[in-house]
Structure 1
Amino acid sequence: MDTHKIMIVDDDPHICEIVQVYCEREGFISSYSHSGTEAMKMLASFEPDLIVLDVLLANENGVDWCMNARSYTNAPIVFLSSREEDEVKISALSNGGDDYVTKPFSPGVLMAKIKAHLRRVSTGRREQLLELPGLTLDFYAQSVNMGSETIFLSKKEFSLLSYMAQNVNRVVSVDALFQLIWGMESLEDTRTVAVHISNLRKKIEADPANPERIITIRGAGYMLVARSALQA
């Protein structure tokens, strides 16, 4: 089971230390920041599974930070604040927040809420995986996992691969792929499919010039071949 990562954003060092201690007791990896600017940089490098966020950051509004962060992460955000006004809570929860805990707070209650949100996300994540022999598609991260390697794809590359994965070991026509991904009104032409298939092969094939996963069926289209079918 993967260890969850918790990011704490609060300008009070004491609060950060308390939350971090309790996170570590639960076996979580945690990191904290005292400023919104620093936290935004940390967001990309730390890649948290959940964020604990103060509403009142030094020189910055935590709700505004939350709104900006939603462009980069879908991780649950639990607000931790001394503000008890309903309008503040409504603003926080309406602009990207998932929960709201008021200070002074019970660390035990906060941990219970954190674990509940992580369970919900983990359940949803399992539903966003499509597993094939030797290949797992992650619809949440728009990536493909092959063994221990994770490969991130462009939106169109992932759309092509996911459609073929849902029709594994079956021929999918070029026209079907083009209409599905680009649409009837597109200014592109069907040759665009071949370009994206070529780029996709460069990322997931051991030898793109001699593909074994995505094979061309001349005159018909393409087929994603599950590894078990190759070995049979």
Structure 2
Amino acid sequence: MVTHKIMIVDDDPHICEIVQAYCEREGFLSACSHNGEDAMKLLASFEPDLIVLDVMLANDNGIDWCRNARCYKNAPIVFLCSHEEDEVKISALSYGGDDYVTKPFSPGVLMAKIEAHLRRVSTGRREQLLELPGLTLDYNVQSVIMGRETIFLSKKEFGLLSYMAQNVDRVVSVDALFQLIWGMESLEDTRTVAVHISNLRKKIEADPAKPERIVTVRGTGYMLVAEGALQE
């Protein structure tokens, strides 16, 4: 059984205690932070499946924090709003929030929303995976899973690997990769593809100097080799 991790960001310790108690009752792991700076550190270390976030933190704006967090994590965010104004709720949802509960709130209602979003994510994640022998791409968090290791990639690295994975064991031209990832209007040139491929190899190759997964096809481009082909 999967144990979901819930991160709570609220400057009111009492609210944190209540939400954590209900999370534990449902079998979830939980962690709490009381300010934006500590919450960003917790986001990286705890890797939550869902975030409960107060709109108004002491010395911080929860909506701004949400916008920054979205650069690193796509986990659902349920806002706790102490305001009834539609403008606040619209802003919360427009800048990365998935749902909201108005204070004072019913813990039962909050938990029902949390469980609903976790079910949605679990269903969606099965559709966000591209599985190859020895390598799985996770489109939800732009990562590649190799064995038991999860490797996070930059947007362009993931784009390159994703396109090659969709054309596994086939040569993909440098020009095709460049146009797909950088586009016609880019001020870069095709040499940037080689730079990003080199960085990608450092993350997924056992020996980047002697690549076996992403091979160079001289004069043409690159090919992602399926793991089974490496063992033949």
Report the TM-score, using the length of structure 2 for normalisation.
0.86
Mapped to 1, the partners of 2:197 and 2:16 lie a distance apart of 47
Mapped to 2, the partners of 1:220 and 1:59 lie a distance apart of 55
2:118 alignment counterpart: 118
Q: CA deviation at 1:166?
A: 0.4
Mapped to 2, the partners of 1:70 and 1:118 lie a distance apart of 17
Q: CA deviation at 1:187?
A: 4.2
Cα RMSD between the aligned structures? 2.4
Range that drifts further, 134-143 or 212-221: 212-221
1:25 alignment counterpart: 25
Q: CA deviation at 1:185?
A: 4.1
Letter in 2 for 1:195: V
Range that drifts further, 40-49 or 23-32: 40-49
Q: CA deviation at 1:20?
A: 0.3
Range that drifts further, 54-63 or 132-141: 54-63
Range that drifts further, 40-49 or 24-33: 40-49
1:105 alignment counterpart: 105
SS at match of 2:172: coil
Mapped to 2, the partners of 1:145 and 1:3 lie a distance apart of 19
Q: CA deviation at 1:37?
A: 3.5
Mapped to 2, the partners of 1:139 and 1:180 lie a distance apart of 17
2:75 alignment counterpart: 75
Mapped to 2, the partners of 1:85 and 1:206 lie a distance apart of 54
Larger Rg belongs to: 1
2:166 alignment counterpart: 166
Letter in 2 for 1:106: S
Range that drifts further, 16-25 or 64-73: 64-73
Mapped to 2, the partners of 1:55 and 1:209 lie a distance apart of 48
Residues 158-197 of structure 1: matches in 2 within 5 Å? Answer: 158-197=158-197
1:44 alignment counterpart: 44
Q: 1:212 to 1:31 in 2, by over 3 A?
A: same
Contact map agreement 2:73 2:141 (CA 8 A) in 1: no
2:135 alignment counterpart: 135
Structure 2 portions without partners, runs of 5+: none
Cα deviation 1:129-163 (Å, max 9, x = unaligned): 21100001122322211101122223332222111
2:93 alignment counterpart: 93
Q: 1:43 to 1:133 in 2, by over 3 A?
A: same
Q: 1:15 to 1:222 in 2, by over 3 A?
A: same
Cα deviation 1:162-193 (Å, max 9, x = unaligned): 11100011111222223222334444443433
Range that drifts further, 196-205 or 221-230: 196-205
Mapped to 1, the partners of 2:76 and 2:30 lie a distance apart of 15
Q: 1:29 to 1:204 in 2, by over 3 A?
A: same
Letter in 2 for 1:175: D
Matched, 1:202 2:202: yes
Q: CA deviation at 1:111?
A: 1.1
Mapped to 2, the partners of 1:61 and 1:185 lie a distance apart of 36
Mapped to 2, the partners of 1:202 and 1:96 lie a distance apart of 32
Letter in 2 for 1:93: L
Matched, 1:54 2:54: yes
2:156 alignment counterpart: 156
Mapped to 2, the partners of 1:189 and 1:91 lie a distance apart of 39
Count of residue pairs the alignment pairs up:
232
SS at match of 1:206: coil
Range that drifts further, 77-86 or 22-31: 77-86
